[in-house]
Amino acid sequence: MYNDQIDDPLQPAGTLSFIGVREGLTPSLLDDNLCTHATDIVFDTSARCNSRPGTSWVARPQAAAVQGQWYYDIPGFERLLVVSNGKLYHLSAVGINSTATEITGITPALSTTHAVVFSQLVDTVYFADGSNYYSIKWDGVAWVIANIPNFSGGSPLADFTILLTCAVGGASFRVIASGVNTTDNDLLYVSNPLDGATFNSANNVRVGKGDGDPIRGVVSGQAGQMFVAKENSVWVVSPVSATLADWEIRAITEDLGCVAGATMRMVGQDVLMLTPRGVVSLARLQQSDTVNEAVFISSDIKRTIARINWEHAGTAHAFAWDDFYLVAVPLDDATTPNAILAYNTISGRWSGYWTGLQPRCAVETRFAGRRDTVMGDNEGKLLRINPDVSRDQTSLGTYAAIASVMETKAWNFGAPENWKQLFTVAVQFEEATGTVDVELICDGRAAAMIEEDARTNQLPQLPVQLPVSLAADTHLRRSWHIRTQPRTREVRLRLTSTGGILRVREIRFQAWLDTVEVLR
C-alpha cells in the first residue's frame, strides 16, 4: 500500500545551470541543463538563462530598408558607411542619435533596392550594387568617389554582388570579386595588386566544372585559403601564386550548397553558413566523407530551421556579437529576416531565436577601440545591440518591451513509470529586474499558471511601512507550493518575462513518488 500522509521521502529534480536549447527531442530525454524552447533568450558562458540584449537607437538616415553597411578605418579616421534608399551616408560614432551625413557625388546613382556589398583595400573602400562598381576614400579633407565602369581593356565590368580582399601568392593583397548577376557567375575576378579599381577581364579563375552552378559567397579562411560556396557545392581555393593558373581548387562537397552567401562567416578556425538543410560547419565537412548529420551545427534547432521561408532565404545574413554567431532569417511567411538564430561559439549551443527585430544587414564597428554590432533594419533604422538595456529602442524616446520565454526539459524524477504528487518548485533569479509568468506543464498538457507577474527581485512592494530601503537584492529565490496540482509522470516549467531583465540560475522541483500501478 501507498499512503502520502506518512513520512515518504521527497524526490528532487532540477538543474543548477542552463547551456542551450534542443528542440524536437522528447523533453524528458534532455540533459538537465538544456531547454526545450527559448525565445529572446541568451545562454551565456556563465551557464545562466538571460533575456537577450536590447537595442539602442543610433540613427535613421532614410525611411527605407538599409541596403548595406561598412566600417571604414584608416589611421586617425573612422566612419560607419551606410546605404539606404540608394544614398550613401557616413557616421562618426554609433552613440544615441548619431548624425548621419550624406556623401554626394555618386554617379551613376546607386540602386534603391539592391543589396550593396563592400570591401576595403589599403585606404580605399570598394562597393557594388550588382550593376555598378565604385571606390571611395577619405583624402584628409573630403571624400573622393569614383565609378569604375570597365575592365582595364575597355570592356564593361562584370556586375559584382560579392567582394572580398584576400592575399594572393602569400604577398600582395587584391580584391576578389564575383557576381550572381554576371553571365559567367562561377568566375572569381582578381584585381591588380593593391589596386581594387583595376581588373583585367582575363584575370579570372573558374570555380567548379562550368555547369551553371553560381557562386553565392566567398570568405577568407586559414592559411590564405578562400572558401567558395556555390548554390549546389562548396570549394576551397588556395591562391598560392600570382599566376592564377597555379591556384589550387578542390571540392569540399558537390552535394550541398549555400542559400545565402551573406551567412558565410569565419568563426575561429571554422566557417559557418546556411544551407537548405541547416547551418553547416565547413571544418566538419572537410573532415567527413559524406554530408551527414555530424556536419551540421543546427541539429538542435531543427524545428526552427524548418520554419525558414526558403523561397526568400537569399535575404538571410550572419553577423557577430560577443561570442555569438547570429543568423538573421525569414521565418514562416516573412520575405525578409524577422528572426535571429543565436549560436554561442564558445559552448557550441543555440539560444533559440530572437524576435522583434528585422535586420537587413549588420556590421561590427570599433570606434575608439570599442566593439559594437550595428544592425540596419527593414525600416531604415540603425540599432546597436546593447547588453546594458532590456528594451528595444524603436525611436528617440520610444521603446518596446522584450518578452522572453524559456521552457525547461521535462523531469520524471528518475522514475518514468511512477505517478508523482508534486510538492514545491523553486527558482533562483540573479540580477533580474522584471516580472515573470510562472507556468507548469505536466505530461504535455496545457500549461497551468502558478503565479502571474511574479517578482524576480526583492524590491519592496508598496504600500509599506516607511521608512524603508528601496535597494534591490540581486538574488531572489522564489518558491511555490504545487501540492494542489494533479498527479503527473513528468513536469516542466515555463517562464515568460513580461518586462525587465530575466536571469535564471537554478530551478528545483520536489515531489512524492507513487508506487507503480499494475493492471490486472
Instruction: State the DSSP string of 384-443.
Output: EEETT-SEEEEETTEEEE---EEEE--B-TT-TTS-EEEEEEEEEEES--SEEEEEEEET
Handedness of CA 175, 176, 181, 184 (dihedral sign): positive
Quick check: 432 and 500 in contact, CB under 8 A?
A: yes
Quick check: 132 and 116 in contact, CB under 8 A?
A: no
| pLDDT exceeds cutoff 70 at 110 | yes
Q: Indicate left, alpha or beta for 146 from its phi (over 0: left) and psi (-120 to 50: alpha).
A: beta
Question: Which residues fall within 8 angstroms of residue 300, CB to CB, at 6 or more apart?
Answer: 20, 21, 22, 23, 349, 350
Cα distance between residue 162 and residue 249, in whole Å: 19
What is the pLDDT, as a whole number, of residue 221? Answer: 82
As assigned by CATH, the class of the 11-52+405-513 domain is mainly beta
Quick check: 189 and 140 in contact, CB under 8 A?
A: no
C-alpha cell of residue 31: 540533459
Q: Helix or strand or coil: residue 306?
A: helix
| pLDDT exceeds cutoff 60 at 518 | no
Mean pLDDT of 359-370: 96
Query: Residue 431, Cβ neighbours under 10 Å: how many?
Result: 16
What is the pLDDT, as a whole number, of residue 169? Answer: 77
Cα distance between residue 87 and residue 67, in whole Å: 9
Quick check: 367 and 387 in contact, CB under 8 A?
A: no
Cα distance between residue 131 and residue 107, in whole Å: 12
- What is the secondary structure of 334-388 as a DSSP string? -SS--EEEEEETTTTEEEEEE-S--EEEEEEE-GGG--EEEEEETTS-EEEEETT
| pLDDT exceeds cutoff 70 at 176 | yes
CA distance to 151, 419, 513, per residue, from 416 (Å): 71, 8, 10
What is the pLDDT, as a whole number, of residue 484? Answer: 93
What is the pLDDT, as a whole number, of residue 423? Answer: 97
What is the pLDDT, as a whole number, of residue 5? Answer: 58
CB-hemisphere CA count at 13 Å for 32?
Answer: 15
Q: What is the pLDDT of residues 462-504, one digit of tens each?
A: 565 666 555 555 689 999 999 999 999 999 999 999 888 999 9
C-alpha cell of residue 240: 598560392
How do beta strands 317-321 and 278-281 pair? unpaired
Question: Which residues fall within 8 angstroms of residue 124, CB to CB, at 6 or more apart?
Answer: 135, 136, 137, 196, 197
Handedness of CA 282, 287, 292, 294 (dihedral sign): negative
Q: What is the pLDDT of residues 301-316, one digit of tens each?
A: 999 999 999 999 999 9
What is the pLDDT, as a whole number, of residue 473? Answer: 59
| pLDDT exceeds cutoff 80 at 520 | no
Cα distance between residue 86 and residue 71, in whole Å: 18
Quick check: 516 and 417 in contact, CB under 8 A?
A: yes
Mean pLDDT of 13-33: 95
Q: Where are the domains of the chain?
A: 11-52+405-513
Q: What is the pLDDT of residues 39-88, one digit of tens each?
A: 999 998 889 999 999 999 999 999 999 999 999 999 999 999 999 999 99
CA distance to 90, 443, 508, per residue, from 412 (Å): 57, 10, 13
At CA 116, angle to CA 211 and CA 217, rounded to 5?
35
Question: Which residues fall within 8 angstroms of residue 243, CB to CB, at 6 or more apart?
Answer: none
Q: What is the pLDDT of residues 425-451, one digit of tens each?
A: 999 999 899 899 999 999 989 999 999
Q: CA torsion, points 399, 401, 402, 404, in degrees to nearest 10?
A: 170
Cα distance between residue 65 and residue 390, in whole Å: 25
Question: Which residues fall within 8 angstroms of residue 278, CB to CB, at 6 or more apart?
Answer: 296, 297, 298, 299, 302, 305
Cα distance between residue 225 and residue 361, in whole Å: 25
What is the pLDDT, as a whole number, of residue 229? Answer: 96
Quick check: 470 and 460 in contact, CB under 8 A?
A: yes
Confidence of residue 366 (pLDDT cuts 50, 70, 90): very high
Confidence of residue 360 (pLDDT cuts 50, 70, 90): very high
Mean pLDDT computed over every residue of the chain: 92
CA distance to 58, 123, 318, per residue, from 143 (Å): 22, 12, 29
Helix (H) or strand (E) holding 37: strand 34-39
| pLDDT exceeds cutoff 90 at 407 | yes
Cα distance between residue 98 and residue 78, in whole Å: 14
At CA 228, angle to CA 223 and CA 232, rounded to 5?
145
| pLDDT exceeds cutoff 60 at 277 | yes
Confidence of residue 353 (pLDDT cuts 50, 70, 90): very high
434 φ/ψ angles, rounded to the nearest 5 degrees: -120, -155
